[in-house]
Structure 1
């Protein structure tokens, strides 16, 4: 009798999970279908409740241009815009300012040097200005946010070279001129990956830090005021494990949720060729920087988290990838979790090509949510399609 009872309980839970998965109701999807290499890296819901996407597409052998697409609420294309330099351009992020103009960030090459490249466009996609951020040091931007009516901020990494960077934040006016910059945890190597503006006009940021010379890193969460002055910095320590965040999200309970990747080394982490098994990792940090809990999501192979958003009911959608699997379950991955990180359901999207994953998830004004992929691709890939999917309210 106990065996039968256990079986029935298991069957009920299985059916519950299957039923929930069906609640990920796809309303529409669009694929770029350029026939070559292209990808989407960031998306926003714009001032007209449609969606603006930034990505890149191949224009000649191993050369990428920035590609901006604007869709209406039904996924129909309103306009597209291609811009960039004469060399390879890798777009990162896009925001729409309160005046409805866009700012796009990218990395681009100038005189064989990789530099931060900024573009401002108006609401119709016409270029207002574009310029390099000139510096003698390596500089990379990973996220962007509007500071106020007159400025925006970038976060990322700055250093003597790409292997020796510090966590970096800078403010720019709407003409693209730097107003101020900050470097955090300057005794450690690291970078900042994600930033969110808070109700008090300050900011929460997530990044990674590590000891110089060691093949290891930890997740770090920072809190600043509206001028970038550091209020506190918290570190999720993980000795012998590589752990880094991709996105930070704010909770109604004044806590922060951070999603990313956790790599358990299968040999010597400081060897010339360490081998990692990756899991998606989710962290909750309170408003004063105390780490409340850390949870990892481990399936048959390697997994990772790239984005998350809080739903109106206080639950979270977490998005990323199932990168490898012994059972063949590979592809862009959605998890639905409650405020304590307990799983409520999941959805595996179709896998189209190598490294296909969800790079961004956003809430929509109609109660649904939207995801894009496959994220930044290597220019040596022969084929990759940007895609966008709109889901109904859960």
Structure 2
């Protein structure tokens, strides 16, 4: 009897150990995280707020408290300098670099009783050289985007009332042309880029007041004189927002944003021809999660990579979303990265070797545990770090 009891107890212990081992196998291992380089401050939402400069550094716009700031970092994530601009009556939204390595900052300022476009020229160390303003009395205008064009000049894009306004200037800030593009409804430009043939492409959210619908609106403009080449409405589809676009080597256009088909948001990706005719529209995301794409860039092989955020409905915190699609819109990978609090990817830049440089805001990393911080991390083209 004594031997039987000993055997029974041994068998029970062995079975219990096996069960514990099985439970531990079922627990998902923690996902490895990239090295988040984080600094006090906040980064702007929107495209063209971050660039890789001619000396291969990163320069981007953000805020610290109520002041606009410009940050310069190495591509390894070390801060080079940080400069403060403006008081609460103005904001810098976008940045570009001239052929002479001067920096041009575009935004808006409340001056003379109304908001105007603001352009600041700074040297390569971020020191202000001059500021200029562009506006029409009694019409609120806001500069949102700036890019350098292949002819060495600069184009700013933003809003004038409910319409699109574009201003082309030389590097002295002298106006070459100003155009306002009006439609019935409200157009909000989210991205400005120069296409391979030297024309300007504006990607917009468009609220069509005639039919009460949300659409994606593309506008192609002649860079020499601001004349409209073509425009295209992609819609109407309710609950759809666009945030970024890129041009493929074929001239086709790919955009990203978000779409709410039910309770949850999905990452929305739309591909069009070079003249704005829709080829396909696709959605990506997990069940019971809010997910969206803020920034999209073309890879050297014709695929695209998107960053944004992912949020589980059971957790208020967000993760950085990193999504890669092939040229046909098939998912290559969808990674969700971050710490124990909220992290959001706002901008993706492509390094010379096709690596991804992700910039955004973080509550999980950095010097301040009470507010958001700016982060930067990098992956290779396959999303590995």
Query: Shared fold (TM-score greater than 0.5)?
Result: yes
Deviation at 1:182, TM superposition (A): 2.2
Task: Report what 1:235 is aligned to.
Answer: 233
Deviation at 1:224, TM superposition (A): 2.1
RMSD of aligned alpha carbons: 2.7
**Aligned pair in 2 of structure 1 residues 351, 179: CA closer, same or farther (>3 Å)?**
farther
Deviation at 1:277, TM superposition (A): 4.0
Q: How far apart, CA to CA, are the structure 2 residues paired with 1:143 and 1:291?
A: 25
Cα displacement string for residues 45-78 of structure 1 (whole angstroms, at most 9, x for unaligned residues): 11111211221101xxxxx112112122322222
Does residue 43 of structure 2 align to residue 39 of structure 1?
yes
Task: Report what 1:259 is aligned to.
Answer: 256
- What SS does structure 2 have at the residue aligned with 1:304? strand
Q: How far apart, CA to CA, are the structure 2 residues paired with 1:113 and 1:373?
A: 31
Task: Report what 1:364 is aligned to.
Answer: 351
Q: Which residue of 291, 295, 315 corresponds with 1:307?
A: 295
Cα displacement string for residues 203-234 of structure 1 (whole angstroms, at most 9, x for unaligned residues): 22211222227653200122222232212111
Q: How far apart, CA to CA, are the structure 1 residues paired with 2:133 and 2:312?
A: 38
Tell me the TM-score normalised to structure 1 length: 0.78
- What SS does structure 1 have at the residue aligned with 2:198? coil
Any conservation in 1 of the 2:184–2:210 contact (CA below 8 Å)?
no
Does residue 307 of structure 2 align to residue 319 of structure 1?
yes
**Aligned pair in 2 of structure 1 residues 128, 383: CA closer, same or farther (>3 Å)?**
same
Structure 2, unmatched stretches of 5+, are 1-27, 363-368
Does residue 115 of structure 2 align to residue 102 of structure 1?
no
Q: How far apart, CA to CA, are the structure 2 residues paired with 1:127 and 1:190?
A: 32
Query: Looking at both structures, which has the greater relative contact order when contacts are Cα pairs under 8 Å and sequence separation is at least 6?
Result: 1
Q: How far apart, CA to CA, are the structure 2 residues paired with 1:307 and 1:352?
A: 23
Task: Report what 2:283 is aligned to.
Answer: 296
Any conservation in 2 of the 1:304–1:323 contact (CA below 8 Å)?
no
Task: Report what 2:361 is aligned to.
Answer: 374
Any conservation in 2 of the 1:49–1:365 contact (CA below 8 Å)?
no
Q: Which residue of 50, 57, 64 corresponds with 1:57?
A: 64
Task: Report what 2:5 is aligned to.
Answer: none
Any conservation in 2 of the 1:65–1:88 contact (CA below 8 Å)?
no
**Aligned pair in 2 of structure 1 residues 242, 168: CA closer, same or farther (>3 Å)?**
farther
Task: Report what 2:127 is aligned to.
Answer: 126
- What SS does structure 1 have at the residue aligned with 2:118? strand
Deviation at 1:151, TM superposition (A): 2.3
Task: Report what 1:143 is aligned to.
Answer: 145
Any conservation in 1 of the 2:114–2:139 contact (CA below 8 Å)?
no
Tell me the TM-score normalised to structure 2 length: 0.80
Task: Report what 2:75 is aligned to.
Answer: 73
Q: How far apart, CA to CA, are the structure 2 residues paired with 1:39 and 1:382?
A: 16
**Aligned pair in 2 of structure 1 residues 149, 233: CA closer, same or farther (>3 Å)?**
closer
